[in-house]
Every structure is written in structure tokens, then in C-alpha cells.
With several copies, the nearest count.
Chain A
Amino acid sequence: MATAAASDVRVRVLLFASYAESLGFDSINMSLASPATVGAVVERLRALPGGDRLPPRPLCALNLAHVGPEAPVAAGDEIAVLPPLAGG
């Protein structure tokens, strides 16, 4: 992980279902160099053990709403990485 700096963005990241199983955790706090995006969060997760299970562009949510990888993240945001949905 990057060393925390004054300009770093600290966010909370949630994983679910098969992604949580693959990476072995379902939530993590992460610091990112500013400016940061949802895509940068995904990149960091993919570099972790088991992270190759994540596709390059998984479904993601930012503060409870679907967003694309280009969405900017701010300190305190909650980012969720979502396996293929199977409701209904």
C-alpha cells in the first residue's frame, strides 16, 4: 500500500459474494494518491492475492450508487466492488 500523505484519499472498500471469497476479506480501508478514481481502487485490489479473480472493469458502486471506473473518489467515500448480480 502507498504511504499515507497529506494529499492522500482514504476510502472504505467493500467486497461481496465471490469477490470477497477470492480476496479473503469483505471490507478494507485504503489510501489512494489524489486525485483518485474508482478504477484506481479496482487496480489496487487486482494486485492483491486473489485479486486476479476481479475483471478489469467490474461493476462498482460509490456511496450506494452504480458508477463507472472513471468516477472520482473523495475522502470518506464508500466504494463497493460487485460480482455479477443475481437478484430476482
Chain B
Amino acid sequence: MGFLTEQPIDVAALIAEVQSPTRGGISVFLGAVRNHHAGREVLRLHYSAYRPMAEAECARIVAEAQARWDAATAIQHRVGRLEIGETAVAVIAASAHREEAFAACRYLIEQTKRRVPIWKREFYADGSVSWVEAGSESVPSDAGTWLQPA
């Protein structure tokens, strides 16, 4: 557990978790809160989650990446209120080779965005508030790989 946190994400501590003397290539991706979205000025936002499932899904994504690439991996996603510029998500992959580190890191962020049940509520400069529903509304046609068998 511990993929989700209400505290600011400590990137250096996460890197230290996956780094080792045999893994010299470390690829990190950070998603930070932007000050605009679809042409509107964003003041701050709030992430909520279906927390036990989010933890379980992150654990599955990490296990998949570690099975596919020879890499140590980490995911951390912030929940609660976030200000502009704060880190919302950090994913890290450390490997002996940079190709594997990059590929695993890319996998972690793509799958996290697609599969982890987290929702974002944006608060705008004009006083309005809205759910950001960028993802697919229905089961994606290529979801077979991550849907549990019926």
C-alpha cells in the first residue's frame, strides 16, 4: 500500500526507494498541476479516489512493469487539495539500461492514467467548479489486457 498520499510527494525519497548499485538508469515522470485547462484559468484542484481499488490497481501496474522489464518501479499519486505547480503524480523506473527504464516509466504513467480510479475537480478563476472527465466514459475496446476475466 502507500501508492496514494495526502502529503506532498517527495521525489528524491521515491528515487532512493528504487535506485540500487546495479540499476544505473532512472526514468522519472512527474505530473504537475497546470494553471489552465481547455482555455480556462485554474486556481487549484481536488483529487478524490476509490482508494482501496486505486491501491490495488497501482500494485497491479507496478507488478506488470516489473514482470515485463528488468526494472524497479514506483508510483505515487497525491489526493486531496492541490495548488498550481504541485506534483500530482510521480512514477519512476530504475533499470540497468536506459531503454528499459524509459519504457517501464512510460508504461507506468500511461496505465496509471487509464486504470487508477482517481477523479479530479477543478476550481476556476471565474468561481466555477467542474469534474474533469478526460478519460473514456465506457470500457475501452482495447481494455482486455487490464480487465479481470469474467
Per-residue B-contact encoding for A57-88, CB less than 8 Å = 1, 0 else: 11111101111111110000000101111111
Contacts of A14 in B (CB 8 A): 50
**Taking CB as reference atom, which chain A residue is nearest B140?**
A59
Q: Answer yes or no: A18 CB below 8 A from chain B CBs.
A: yes
Question: In the assembly, what is the distance between CA of A68 and CA of B144, in Å?
Answer: 9
Given the complex, which residues of B lie within 8 Å of A80, measured CB to CB? 50, 53, 117
Q: List, in ascending order, chain A residues with CB within 8 A of B101's CB.
A: none
List of B residues within 8 angstroms of A66 by Cβ: 57, 115, 139, 143, 146-148
- B121 surroundings in chain A (CB, below 8 A): 17
- On whether the beta carbons of A87 and B139 are closer than 8 Å, the reply is no
Cα distance A15–B148 in the bound complex, in angstroms: 20
- B115, B118, B138, B146: the one contacting A86 at CB < 8 Å is B118
Interface size class of B (residues with CB under 8 A): 35 or more
* Nearest neighbor of A21 in chain B, beta-carbon distance: B131
Which of A17, A69, A85 is within 8 Å of B115, CB to CB? A85
Q: CA–CA, A60 to B57, complex, Å?
A: 13
Q: How far is the CA of A67 from the CA of B148 in the complex (A)?
A: 5
Tell me the bound Cα distance from A83 to B48 in angstroms. Answer: 12
Name which residue of chain B comes closest to A56, CB basis: B138
Q: How many residues of A contact B (CB 8 A)?
A: 29
Contact A85 B118 (CB under 8 A): yes
Closest CB of chain A to B122's CB: distance in Å? 9
* Residue of A with least CB distance to B122: A86
Tell me whether B120 and A84 are in contact (CB under 8 A): no
**Contact, CB under 8 Å: B77 / A85:** no
Taken together as a complex, chains A and B put the C-alpha atoms of A18 and B132 apart, in Å, by: 9
A86–B133 touching, CB < 8 Å: yes
> What are 24 residue pairs bridging A and B, where the CB atoms are less than 8 Å apart in the complex?
A17-B48, A18-B119, A56-B138, A59-B136, A59-B137, A59-B138, A61-B117, A65-B148, A66-B115, A66-B148, A67-B148, A68-B143, A68-B147, A69-B139, A70-B150, A83-B119, A83-B137, A85-B116, A85-B117, A85-B136, A86-B132, A87-B88, A87-B117, A88-B88
Which B residues fall within an 8 A CB radius of A?
A: 31, 47-50, 52-54, 56-57, 60, 77, 88-89, 109, 112-121, 131-139, 143, 146-148, 150
